[in-house]
Amino acid sequence: KSAVRMLSELKQQFDVVTLASDWSKYKVLIFPDDIVFDEETARRVEKHVNEGKAIISTGFSGLDPEKKHFALEQEWGIKFLGEDPFDPAYFAVGENYNKGLPEMPLSLYSNGIEVEVSGKTKTEAYLIKPYHNRDWDGEYAFYYNPPDKVTEKPALTINGQVAHFSHRIFSGYYDKASVELRTVFSNVLNRLFPRPLIKTGKLPSFSRVFVTEQPGRRMVHLLSYLPEMRGNTQMIEEPVELNNITISLRQDDKEFKNIYLAPEKERLAYTVEDGYVHITVPESKGYSLLVIEE
């Protein structure tokens, strides 16, 4: 749920796949938090990496089914040392992936593993231990344990096209909705996948943008409704008006001849640059459908 939510908020086009799916068309595979690798998964992932494609894994993902070591230790470039003892765990991100992040220790809001880098693997973020672990003496609990010192333990490693977060950042995002976790994940994804199918301007996080395709045309769907928690239910009622929305769609060697809003067939101005068609939507109230014809 959290991976789907995070990718949707980042306006990324994605599929949820299983072993019954064909993985060959994907440039990036994401394994969130608890996806252990059996023989078939490891075989497919190894083929994916050998083709120069990217992997992002988090937490316990990538380990063998017995959770004793990484199934593809050479490709990951790290060794599994066991579960990380820090509770809570904080982290500090290096300059290569800290865009949009505050200069302060950040919480991971989840448990994770302890790893050791090998070979040419780079550590791009480090764990910060708390002053002491969360505890309860039978009478008093600790609501907040502040961070202490930066350790040498990796929180984010990069080995070629394989990135691994030591902790279960998607679970942390699901529980606490930490924008910083989404930001650092986005920074890693943008580095490994700099040319996504769709790019947008500064849209609110609750809006959704996704692409469908029919023969001779692509369609961009834009949703802008704000869910509101009422009791135990998220209610979606009033649309939110958005103005001057910038949408960039990757061409993929296609030549687009006509772009308009459906069903009104209101034509939209656009430009083509660097393999993307850039479209400006003057106004959207709740839902808009852009049709891009070849």
Encode pLDDT of 202-214 as tens digits.
899 999 999 999 9
> Could you tell me what percent of the chain has a pLDDT over 90?
85
Is the model's pLDDT at 134 over the cut of 80? no
* Residues 20 and 157 reside in one and the same domain: yes
Query: Where residue 109 sits, what CATH number does that domain have?
Result: 3.40.50.880
Task: Give, in order, the Cα–Cα distances in Å from 93 to each of 104, 107, 154, 168.
Answer: 9, 11, 10, 16
Containing structural domain, residue 249: 198-293
136 and 207 both lie in a single domain:
no
pLDDT in tens, 250-288: 999 899 989 999 999 999 999 999 999 999 999 999 999
HEC-encoded secondary structure of 102-143: CCCCEECCCCEEEEEECCCCEEEEEEEEECCCCCECCCCECC
- 26 and 82 in a single domain? The answer is yes
Percent of the chain with pLDDT over 70: 96
Q: Answer with the one of 163, 192, 221 that is the final residue of a domain.
A: 192
pTM for this predicted structure: 0.93
List the CATH number of the domain containing 272: 2.60.40.1180
Q: Which among 164, 192, 220 is the end of a domain?
A: 192
Cα–Cα distance for residue pair 273/69, rounded to 1 Å: 46
Do 278 and 245 meet the contact criterion of CB atoms below 8 Å apart?
no
Torsion of CA 184, 186, 189, 195, to 10 degrees: -150
pLDDT for res 62? 97
Q: 207 with 147, same domain?
A: no
How many domains is the chain built from? 2
Q: Select from 192, 222, 252 the last residue of a domain.
A: 192
Q: How far apart are CA 94 and CA 91, in angstroms?
A: 10
User: Is the domain of 268 the same as that of 157?
Assistant: no
Average pLDDT (182-198) is 97
Choose between 168 and 133: higher pLDDT.
168
Per-residue model confidence as pLDDT tens digits over 52-71: 999 999 999 999 999 999 99
> How sure is the predictor about 146, in pLDDT bands with cuts at 50, 70 and 90?
confident
